[in-house]
Amino acid sequence: MIALAVRRWTIVGLLVALFSGPLVSALFTVLRIPLTAQNVLFQTAILFACAALLLFIIRRKERLGWDSVGLQRPPLGNTAIWVVVTFVGVLVALAMAFALIKLFHLPVGSMDSQALAALPKWVLLVAIIRAAFIEELFCRGYAIERLQSLTGSLILAAGIPLFIFAVLHYRQGWAGIIVALLTGAVLTAVYIYKRNLWVTITVHFVVDFILLVPLLAAKH
């Protein structure tokens, strides 16, 4: 009975991890909520509330430790080395993605660059932190671990969250999906090998930060 109850909570956790992000994004799109500082913070608050619910499920319902999603206290030296290795891998993935985009003339969707440029620097930083922590917790740490536990298949555990992670970037067109798919594959492989979510969170943050540097530098 206890095992069944835990299994049910794990399924709830997977629903939160895999679908709360897409659902919130879709609602903001359907309702045509403009990209303002207040709305970015509102969306961030909703997603962090979902993350808090997931953390509650892990500790109180599944009765598992933070290591069950790769959030154990990391060995600093080894983590730093793997951050560098992973960052290099992501750069290679980006180069491959851009080559494919150019070769097949893949369309690039809207990134709301004008609206992003109008946001304060600190709001952009909050958005970057949100994406790095929540997307890695949802699509890597929790989803991979729990899907592998439920299905016994590492392929499904890695593939399903990676597919959802890539599709989440649909607003950036096929180009954005390809970039997310290839870079996400690197992050997924590293997480599966190291089971250290701090590595992928850090690299995710650094890459997103670098991509937004032009916007941040243009602000006075």
pLDDT digits 0-9 by tens, 122-161? 999 999 999 999 999 999 999 999 999 999 999 999 999 9
The whole-angstrom separation of Cα 56 and Cα 42 is 21
Measured between alpha carbons, how far apart are the two ends of the chain, in Å? 60
pTM for the model: 0.94
CB 71 within 8 A of CB 141: yes
The whole-angstrom separation of Cα 90 and Cα 207 is 8
> What amino acid is encoded at 15 in this protein?
L
**Mean pLDDT of all residues belonging to the chain:** 92
Q: How confident is the model at residue 212 (pLDDT cuts 50, 70, 90)?
A: confident
The whole-angstrom separation of Cα 1 and Cα 143 is 23
Ranking 1-10, 15-24, 66-75, 179-188 by mean pLDDT, the lowest is: 1-10
Percent of the chain with pLDDT over 70: 94
The whole-angstrom separation of Cα 94 and Cα 178 is 9
pLDDT of 39 over the 90 cut? yes
Q: What are the extents of the domains in the chain? A: 2-217
Burial of 113 (0-12, 13-18, 19+ CB in 10 A): exposed
pLDDT digits 0-9 by tens, 73-101? 999 999 999 999 999 999 999 999 999 99
Give me the torsion for CA of 26, 192, 93, 19, rounded to 10°: 0
Average pLDDT over residues 10-37: 94
Give how far Cα 165 sits from Cα of 19, 51, 180, 217, 218, Å: 10, 16, 7, 28, 29
The whole-angstrom separation of Cα 187 and Cα 71 is 15
Percent of the chain with pLDDT over 90: 81
The whole-angstrom separation of Cα 111 and Cα 44 is 18
Q: Give the helix/strand (H/E) hosting 67.
A: none
Contacts of 182 (CB under 8 A, 6+ apart): 93, 94, 96, 97
